[in-house]
Amino acid sequence: AQRVTQPEKLLSVFKGAPVELKCNYSYSGSPELFWYVQYSRQRLQLLLRHISRESIKGFTADLNKGETSFHLKKPFAQEEDSAMYYCAWGGNYQLIWGAGTKLIIKP
């Protein structure tokens, strides 16, 4: 079965430091991959998707088919980046979700 793994439940970095949130998926083929974010007291929302190859709020994510990874990166973390981040794989009729990583940016 398709599976999305986010190995870190919690990631804490200092403001200005680089951030990398890991995501691995188990699927062969051409996946659609997404990063969703949930800020405190806000609803879950799309951050970015691999197909658009865009940078949102300074975050980028590159699909590595060889390593079946879709890690989320930002070169310089900001305090407002503190949130829950979920990686999701899209296929068939549904999204398969990782368990999420809580990112804390320390001042």
**Quick check: 70 binds other proteins (CB under 8 A)?**
no
Mention every residue, 6+ apart, whose C-beta is less than 8 A from residue 98: 4, 5, 6, 23, 86, 87, 88
Contact status: 32 vs other proteins (CB under 8 A): yes
- Residue 105 CB, nearest distance to other proteins (Å)? 20
Residue 63 engages other proteins in binding (rule: CB under 8 A): no
Tell me the helix, strand and coil percentages in the chain, rounded to 5.
5, 55, 40
Give the footprint of other proteins on this chain (CB under 8 A). Answer: 4, 9, 32, 34, 43-46, 49, 86, 90-95, 97-100
